[in-house]
Amino acid sequence: EAGVAQSPRYKIIEKRQSVAFWCNPISGHATLYWYQQILGQGPKLLIQFQNNGVVDDSQLPKDRFSAERLKGVDSTLKIQPAKLEDSAVYLCASSLRGSGRHNEQFFGPGTRLTVL
Amino acid sequence: TQLLEQSPQFLSIQEGENLTVYCNSSSVFSSLQWYRQEPGEGPVLLVTVVTGGEVKKLKRLTFQFGDARKDSSLHITAAQPGDTGLYLCAGAEAGGTSYGKLTFGQGTILTVHP
């Protein structure tokens, strides 16, 4: 079974530029998550999709970050314009259901973003 | 927002030693998961503990969920260099509209020297 795919793996941009990340979840997984992981910290949830609807985006900085999952499969996360503090690893994860006590999430390898 | 405190933040030991990582919160979780993350990769699920007081073993790793479902520990016996990595605990929220939402601890970076 193929895992969660993410691209690109690395991205270096200058502040105020735009960047987009792509994620393809495990086939059949209804729920997709985007996390931000700053060096030395655990992942922080940015947004959760259930199929193509947003379940939780309470910690997404909506003035600069946007995400979509138009057909309920793959997803794109965009930052526009980027700030220095956005330097982090952006992880995509998927799960079968998205709720319940087990809620096992499968993570992609992440995109390491460096903002100069 | 529920918080998970992990300790220690860094652990550097010799091969063959034992170690314990702790994950504590003032909140109750419906379950608690432990992940291991290697450099350049995403976290990989090791185990999920669900019942208060539950103990699960995975080879040399022993996971325990506190009786009140607020804390957990990971114990590694006879650590090996291959155990090196970032260990993350994550609690699944117990109810409400966020049921199942994961909150991650800040992680423990483990280095096992040969």
pLDDT tens, position by position, A67-85: 999 888 999 999 999 999 9
Q: What is the pLDDT of residues A42-59, one digit of tens each?
A: 999 999 998 889 989 999
CA angle at A58 for the pair A101 and A60, rounded to the nearest 5°: 115
On the question of pLDDT at A103 being above 80, the answer is no
The larger pLDDT score, comparing residue A97 to residue A64, is at A64
Q: Which of A23-37, A95-109, B39-53, B63-77 has the lowest mean pLDDT?
A: A95-109
Contact B51, B31 (CB under 8 A): no
Q: What is the mean pLDDT of residues B82-86?
A: 96
Distance in Å, alpha carbon of A43 to nearest chain B alpha carbon: 6
The pLDDT of A61-66, averaged and rounded, is 96
Whole-angstrom Cα distance, residue B98 to residue B100? Answer: 6
Closest CB to A41 among B40, B90, B107: B107
Min distance B16 CA to chain A CA atoms (Å):
26
Contacts with A98 from chain B: Cβ below 8 Å: 100
Per the CB < 8 Å rule, is A42 touching B44?
A: no
If we measure between CA atoms, which residue out of A75, A46, A76 comes closest to residue A62? A46
